[in-house]
């Protein structure tokens, strides 16, 4: 008891070997004191300053991380392909109808331009057309316009019947 009274007078913490609180278990500061004592006795060497393991080469963590990332990409790509599958173009009849509707909108825009300005447009970029693959050929007396889809090409020559184009497209 005499040692304990002396420590209390000096405000010292108890050593690990002289635990006063929980027998058999060291508190955090007691463990830190013991660890620092051991480190000091060994001359500063400890787990933080341990030499590299024998065998020469450090662990290859970066290599395995990259390998795991590549495996993740491969599996993700496989799953996306399995879920969505290959993209197939629409049936030719559906393509034909879509091309005829685009063709009609182009013919309508050309004829509107001709009615407002009295002349045919020099190129289709002057018109506001829905996106599509158009080819416009201007001649002295008229024009020909082509709309191309993956499996279908439809065309219109000025002077052809517009009502027939609408009926083919299924609009009227």
Q: What is the pLDDT of residues 93-126, one digit of tens each?
A: 888 888 888 888 888 888 899 899 888 888 888 8
Residue ranges and CATH numbers for the domains of the chain are: 2-49 (no CATH), 92-169 (3.30.1300)
pLDDT given at position 55: 62
**What's this model's pTM, rounded to 2 decimal places?**
0.48
Q: How many Å apart are CA 145 and CA 114, to the nearest integer?
A: 15
Residue recorded with tokens 């830190």: 32
What confidence score (pLDDT) does residue 6 get? 61
CA distance 146 to 157: 9
Q: What confidence score (pLDDT) does residue 19 get?
A: 46
Predicted local distance difference test score (pLDDT) of residue 40: 67
Q: Which helix (H) or strand (E) holds 138?
A: strand 134-138
- Residue carrying the six token digits 């450090």: 58
- Counting as low any pLDDT under 50, the low residues of the chain are 19
How many Cα atoms within 13 Å fall on the side-chain side of residue 92? Answer: 4
Measure the CA–CA gap between 154 and 116, rounded to whole angstroms.
Answer: 26
């Amino acid at each position: 008891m005499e040692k304990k009274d002396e420590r209390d007078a000096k405000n010292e913490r108890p050593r690990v070997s002289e635990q006063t609180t929980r027998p058999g278990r060291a508190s955090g500061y007691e463990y830190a004191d013991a660890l620092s004592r051991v480190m000091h006795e060994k001359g500063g060497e400890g787990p933080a300053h341990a030499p590299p393991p024998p065998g020469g080469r450090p662990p290859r963590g970066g290599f395995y991380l990259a390998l795991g990332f590549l495996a993740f990409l491969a599996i993700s790509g496989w799953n996306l392909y399995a879920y969505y599958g290959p993209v197939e173009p629409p049936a030719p009849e559906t393509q034909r109808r879509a091309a005829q509707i685009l063709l009609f909108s182009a013919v309508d825009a050309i004829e509107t331009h001709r009615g407002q300005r009295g002349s045919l447009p020099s190129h289709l970029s002057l018109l506001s057309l829905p996106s599509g693959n158009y080819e416009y050929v201007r001649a002295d007396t008229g024009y020909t316009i082509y709309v191309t889809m993956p499996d279908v090409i439809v065309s219109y020559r000025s002077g052809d019947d517009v009502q027939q184009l609408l009926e083919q497209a299924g609009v009227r």
